Amino acid sequence: MSSQIEIKVPDLGGASEVDVIEVMVASGDRIAKDDSLITLESDKASMDIPAPQEGVVTQVKLKEGDKASQGDVILLLEALPSAEATKQSQQQTTKTETTSADANQTTEQTIVVPDIGGATDVDVIEVMVTPGDQITKDDSLITLESDKASMDVPSPYSGTMKSVVLKVGAKVSQGDAIAVIEITDAAANQAAPIQPPETVSSETATKSSTPAATPSSPTQQQTASSNEIYAGPAVRRMAREFDLDLTQIIGTGPKGRIQTQDVQHFVKQRMQAGRGVGLSVPTPPVVDFSQFGEVTSQPLTKIKRLTGENVHRNWLTIPHVTQFDQADITELEAFRQANKHHAEQQGFKLTPLAFIMKVVVKALQTFPQFNASLDPSGQQLIYKKYFHLGVAVETPNGLVVPVIRDVDGKGVLALAQELASISQKAREKRLMPNEMTGSCMSISSLGGIGGTAFTPIINGTDVAILGISRASTQPVWQHDQFIPRLMLPLSLSYDHRVIDGAEAARFTQYLADCLGDIRHLVL
Amino acid sequence: MAEQKQTQVVVLGSGPGGYTAAFRAADLGKKVILVERFSNIGGVCLNVGCIPSKALLHVAKVIDEADALSQHGVKFGKPQIDPKRLVSWKDGVVKRLTGGLAALAKQRKVEIMTGEGQFIDDHHLKVTTDKGDVTIEFEHAIIAAGSEAVRLPFIPEDPRIFTSTGALQLPNTQCNMLVIGGGIIGLEMANVYHSLGAKITIVEFMNQLMPGADVDIVKPLHKRVEKRYQNIWLETKVTAVEAKKDGLYVTFEGKNAPTKPQKFDQILLSVGRSPNGHRIGADKAGVQVDERGFIAVDHQLRTNVDHIFAVGDIVGQPMLAHKSIPQGKIAAEVIAGMKHYFEPRAIASVAYTDPEVAWVGLTETQAKAENIPYEKGVFPWAASGRALSNGREEGITKLLFDPTTQRVLGAGIIGTQAGDLIAEVALAIEMGCDAQDIALTIHPHPTLAETVAQAAEAFEGTITDLYLPKKKKSDKQRAA
Ligand SMILES: Cc1cc2nc3c(=O)[nH]c(=O)nc-3n(C[C@H](O)[C@H](O)[C@H](O)COP(=O)(O)OP(=O)(O)OC[C@H]3O[C@@H](n4cnc5c(N)ncnc54)[C@H](O)[C@@H]3O)c2cc1C
């Protein structure tokens, strides 16, 4: 028996109109399951589309240069009845044990841990069902957590929970029993094969509808130094081209060797998952503005472009949160006014920023986790024993952030003077690259311009940045009346991977306290 | 005013690093000018390095093999050596290769400019040609200016004293020659001169010949040359050389130093090579050069100046043609926008002496110094049918493995053709092969290549060509 089937382009993760760059089969070819049929290439990656089953190609519908989207017919295949195929489909349904033969009434099914990308001994960190629960297909049953990711395992059936086998803290591998479910509506469940949670293993698998599931599969332990990665030079080069971390990729070759197909598969998964490695950042539309009126264009300055790259990277890679607060600087301002002539005599200004820098360093000393950087692996926090502060300076060419070193060892006047000279240098474009590196934290002051608050983006490899807006006199309720106080708005953006909200709130509060009464500095 | 030219890529130096970079860049669609101070392109490797030395080593080997046959019942007459013809044959080999390179350049429309190049700023190179100065304005530059032999300050200028470059002209092969420096180049040249009839003394500052290679791997070579050469003085150095009419009087100091100055007819200086970083006006382009003349580069061969790259001997050790070549390729590819990196896991070193000595990846010396755990598998060639048939059983093939993953970490091989055998291990290291992968790969019999698989079997304890009383426990477990 044979039949004609249409082989279609599978889900490309939403990508459409993708270029067909190679067609590897011709009509008359006999192909096996998983043979590559065509290669598609988007502007981010290329991938092979494998045959979903074996057969003989009767007609190829796509040719090189075509654009393909999901559902387009690639070719017509004359299917062969194959022992392999039937065995496979059998396996899928017999993966679950039927404890009752009567399919029309109620059936008991043991639900097992699905394919979790080869990971074994994975921790069960949550069990969401108890016996008696009514479950709908795809409801989450348990949460697993490997060292790479956590994921929910959805129920492949609807029914009533008979018993739950696993407990929190258990370690499981593929095939281990999770629970026994009594299926009430056997017909509705019959065709439901167990679907691996988001570890997309077959080309046509669609995304699981479990919202809590994380897209990354719990991969095996290919950590350690890159020299221990089991991959040949061609694969390592490919990973470099796609900016991939090979420790994240599961090798399917002999002894777990990472092969080119594994890298391709990984890239495709990422494309389908629609996130990660910036592969799916949408590009802005091309607009011809001249249709709306007269325009001219000018290249961005080099500083703007570099700053742009940095802020873009940090914006994408650091989970920012911004904490807002206000500091009462009435006293500080009076003190500054009273002492500014000391500076003026020496030809510079005693700015509030010099005081703020001192206060920030005091806060860094008190909260050392703010004087830190995350190492590239994201596994370690590097604490700094020095106190260098970046100060954002506006120049005609763009924003630069010179760094003032060892602020802890300098007095306010000395800082004010250094600020004046380094800002001057920045505006004259005389800053050396090493004068712009090494900051622990940065301050961006828009106080001279205006605004009530803003959300600064963290600079370099810092974990926080302090934004200063314009101070204004505001009525403050003290004792039993409103009194006018000079209030300075503070906006502290921080890296939420390193710093918790409460810590940031305390840090900002501390800044406000110290600015409110700078005698704190000598405490 | 100097003539002006513009190009996308200028390559300074036409050695293996330079010509490869130039050709690859041209193949990737770039307009390329290749600048070389000498009229022959090809650099040290083709003109005064790898190729001519190997041509002479080939001759030396045939002479020695013919001689060795006299013990097995085949006697040839004493060789009649005509050094002039020998040199002209060797020069012919070089000419064919450099001529071939010139043709390859032409086919690719790579312009070759003969003259000394110096940077004048980060986008201009001045070339002093015999028709006057030319200023080349470039978008990208690849520095491949190579290295030259180190000279010792206390050694006088004398036509009887030369480096490898002079030695390749075979000025006098029937003499009493001192080789200062027992590294690869010194030992190769000593090999040539000895086979052609010279008496050889080697003096080496370190405690072994060929520092860098494991002692056990060098030992068979040491044993062989010990018998053939007059003296091998380790842990000894030369402190003075006096050039007199009747000879060169050399004073030694150290463990094996003779008390009195010794007289030699000729001296080969082979104490290392120093990079040419200080002779190209790098500072004008803002390219940083360290004290010794090396230029630091990143994994894409980029110097501290973004659009200027450097490859080959000038970027550091190992100073080998087979390192320069892939670096040249990658620099060109990066310039053409490809995201390639130079990240080999291992680069082999080979001495083309007789027997050859080759090593790749981890050495035992290094493993011990850096506390890297390893286990080894050793196969002595005395058990190799092919080695015995060749009449050369002194070889050893040694593989080092990671004790936990059993992956191959390095190898040292001594024996005829060791340089060709080592390539397999380089591939194995790159591919992360373990002992079984190598042992289970069927190697043709009888070959010397077989010894690589046999060393892996020796490590596994599955070898039958040797009897190793102590079996590995992993194997017992497997059998149990
Ligand atoms: C005797 C000997 C034997 C060797 N045998 C081997 C071997 O068997 N295998 C091996 O791998 N390696 C061998 N080497 C080492 C090998 O020759 C070098 O590693 C290789 O040549 C380095 O290539 P390169 O491109 O870096 O530079 P080089 O080959 O040194 O070429 C640099 C070129 O730049 C030119 N140049 C320099 N400055 C300027 C300038 N300012 N303007 C214009 N041109 C300039 C030089 O004239 C030279 O032609 C041997 C070396 C010697 C000396």
- Residue in A228, A232, A240 closest to B430 by CB: A232
Q: Which of B160, B159, B165 is nearest to B177 (CA)?
A: B160
Residue B312 alpha carbon to ligand 1 centre in Å: 8
Residue B144 alpha carbon to ligand 1 centre in Å: 9
Chain A residue closest in CA terms to B402: A228
Chain B residue closest in CA terms to A237: B340
Q: Which amino acid is at B438?
A: I
- Tokens at A86, concatenated: 């039937």
Mutate to test the pocket of ligand 1, among B45, B150, B179 (most ligand atoms within 8 A of CB): B45
| A237 contacts B341? CB cut-off 8 A | yes
Q: What is the 3-state secondary structure of A56-81?
A: EEEEECCCCCCEECCCCEEEEEEECC
Residue B420 alpha carbon to ligand 1 centre in Å: 22
How far is it, in rounded angstroms, from Cα A16 to Cα B466?
A: 63
Q: Which of B146, B156, B176 is nearest to B47 (CA)?
A: B146
Chain A positions touching chain B (beta carbons under 8 Å):
227-233, 236-237, 240-241, 255, 257
Any ligand 1 atom below 6 A from CB of B36: yes
Report which listed range, A240-244, A518-522, B465-469, is most confident: A518-522
User: In whole numbers, what is the pLDDT of chain A averaged over residues?
Assistant: 79
Q: Which of A393, A446, A450, A448 is nearest to A419 (CA)?
A: A393
Residue A458 alpha carbon to ligand 1 centre in Å: 48
Burial (CB < 10 A; 0-12, 13-18, 19+), residue B15, is buried
- The C-alpha of B432 sits at a distance from chain A's nearest C-alpha, in angstroms, of 6
DSSP-assigned letter for residue B478? H
Ligand 1, atom nearest to B167 Cα? 1
Any ligand 1 atom below 6 A from CB of B322: yes
Q: What is the 3-state secondary structure of B150-210?
A: CCCCCCCCCCCEECHHHHCCCCCCCCEEEEECCCHHHHHHHHHHHHHCCEEEEECCCCCCC
Any ligand 1 atom below 6 A from CB of B182: no
- Higher-confidence residue of B38 and A437: namely B38
């950042």: which residue's tokens?
Answer: A281
Evaluate if residue A272 carries a pLDDT over 70.
no
Any ligand 1 atom below 6 A from CB of B40: no
Neighbours of A277 (CB within 10 A): 17
Which helix (H) or strand (E) covers residue A150, if one does?
strand A150-154
Any ligand 1 atom below 6 A from CB of B313: yes
Task: State residue A357's pLDDT score.
Answer: 96
| B405 contacts A228? CB cut-off 8 A | yes
Give the strand pairing for B132-143 and B3-12. Answer: parallel
Residues B382, B385, B388, B393, CA torsion sign: negative
Ligand 1, atom nearest to B320 Cα? 19
Cis amide bond preceding B355, omega within 30: yes
Mutate to test the pocket of ligand 1, among B44, B127, B342 (most ligand atoms within 8 A of CB): B44
| A230 contacts B430? CB cut-off 8 A | no
Which helix (H) or strand (E) covers residue A250, if one does?
none
Q: Which chain A residues are within 8 Å of B344, Cβ to Cβ?
A: 233
Q: What is the pTM of this model?
A: 0.60
| B434 contacts A227? CB cut-off 8 A | no
Task: State residue B447's pLDDT score.
Answer: 97
- The C-alpha of B429 sits at a distance from chain A's nearest C-alpha, in angstroms, of 9
For the CA atoms of A264, A267, A272, A274, the dihedral, rounded to the nearest 10 degrees, stands at -170
Asked if B224 and B351 touch (Cβ cutoff 8 Å), the reply is no
What residues have CB less than 8 Å from A10, skipping those under 6 apart?
A: A49, A70, A203, A204
| A241 contacts B344? CB cut-off 8 A | no
Residues B156, B160, B162, B166, CA torsion sign: positive
Q: Which of B28, B32, B31, B30 is nearest to B19 (CA)?
A: B32
Query: What are A413-430's pLDDT values in tens digits?
Result: 999 999 999 988 888 877
Kindly report the protein residue whose alpha carbon is nearest to atom 51 of ligand 1.
B49
How confident is residue A226, by pLDDT bands cut at 50, 70 and 90? low
pLDDT-flagged residues of chain B (< 50): 472-480
Give the strand pairing for A481-495 and A472-478. Answer: antiparallel
- Tokens at A195, concatenated: 């679907």
Kindly report the protein residue whose alpha carbon is nearest to atom 52 of ligand 1.
B49
Interface mutation target, options A255, A257, A305, A306, chain B, most CBs of B under 10 Å: A255
How far is it, in rounded angstroms, from Cα A196 to Cα A379?
A: 28
Q: Which of A391, A386, A403, A398 is nearest to A437 (CA)?
A: A403
**Which residues face A464 on adjacent strands?**
A494
How far is it, in rounded angstroms, from Cα A403 to Cα A59?
A: 66
Quick one: average pLDDT of A172-198? 61
How far is it, in rounded angstroms, from Cα B462 to Cα B377?
A: 11
- The C-alpha of A197 sits at a distance from chain B's nearest C-alpha, in angstroms, of 31
Least confident range from A63-67, A409-413, A512-516: namely: A63-67
How confident is residue A453, by pLDDT bands cut at 50, 70 and 90? very high
Q: Which chain B residues are within 8 Å of A237, Cβ to Cβ?
A: 340-341
How far is it, in rounded angstroms, from Cα B368 to Cα A457?
A: 48
Task: State residue B359's pLDDT score.
Answer: 98
- Tokens at B289, concatenated: 């050069």
Kindly report the protein residue whose alpha carbon is nearest to atom 30 of ligand 1.
B146
How far is it, in rounded angstroms, from Cα B192 to Cα B225?
A: 12
Task: State residue B312's pLDDT score.
Answer: 98
Kindly report the protein residue whose alpha carbon is nearest to atom 49 of ligand 1.
B43
Kindly report the protein residue whose alpha carbon is nearest to atom 9 of ligand 1.
B50
Q: Which chain B residues are within 8 Å of A241, Cβ to Cβ?
A: 339-340
- The C-alpha of A404 sits at a distance from chain B's nearest C-alpha, in angstroms, of 25
Cis amide bond preceding B403, omega within 30: no
Q: b or e along B441-452 (b: 16 or more beta carbons within 10 Å of the residue's beta carbon)?
A: eebeeebbbbbb
Any ligand 1 atom below 6 A from CB of B113: no
Task: State residue A275's pLDDT score.
Answer: 44
Q: Which chain B residues are within 8 Å of A232, Cβ to Cβ?
A: 430-432
- Higher-confidence residue of A12 and B328: namely B328
Asked if B289 and B147 touch (Cβ cutoff 8 Å), the reply is no
Chain B positions touching chain A (beta carbons under 8 Å):
339-341, 343-345, 405, 430-432, 434
- The C-alpha of A224 sits at a distance from chain B's nearest C-alpha, in angstroms, of 13
Asked if A438 and A401 touch (Cβ cutoff 8 Å), the reply is no
Residue A330 alpha carbon to ligand 1 centre in Å: 72
Neighbours of B25 (CB within 10 A): 28
| B434 contacts A241? CB cut-off 8 A | no
Ligand 1, atom nearest to B314 Cα? 26
| B432 contacts A233? CB cut-off 8 A | no
Residue B274 alpha carbon to ligand 1 centre in Å: 11
Any ligand 1 atom below 6 A from CB of B437: no
Residue B47 alpha carbon to ligand 1 centre in Å: 9
Interface mutation target, options B430, B434, B436, B438, chain A, most CBs of A under 10 Å: B430
Task: State residue A273's pLDDT score.
Answer: 62
Ligand 1, atom nearest to B41 Cα? 49
Q: Which of A269, A252, A278 is nearest to A11 (CA)?
A: A269
Q: ∠ at Cα A175 (A174, A177), nearest 5°? A: 120
- What strands, in cross-sheet order, belong to the sheet with B231-233? B161-162, B266-269, B176-180, B199-203, B231-233
């999901």: which residue's tokens?
Answer: A70
Task: State residue A9's pLDDT score.
Answer: 84
Quick one: average pLDDT of A101-123? 69
What is the SS3 assignment for A420? helix
Give the strand pairing for A134-135 and A159-164. Answer: antiparallel
Residues of A catalogued as catalytic: 496
| B345 contacts A232? CB cut-off 8 A | no
Any ligand 1 atom below 6 A from CB of B183: no
How far is it, in rounded angstroms, from Cα A356 to Cα A352?
A: 6
Size of interface A-B (CB pairs under 8 A): 24
Any ligand 1 atom below 6 A from CB of B14: yes
Asked if B108 and B100 touch (Cβ cutoff 8 Å), the reply is no
Quick one: average pLDDT of A202-207? 33
Any ligand 1 atom below 6 A from CB of B116: yes
Task: State residue A96's pLDDT score.
Answer: 39
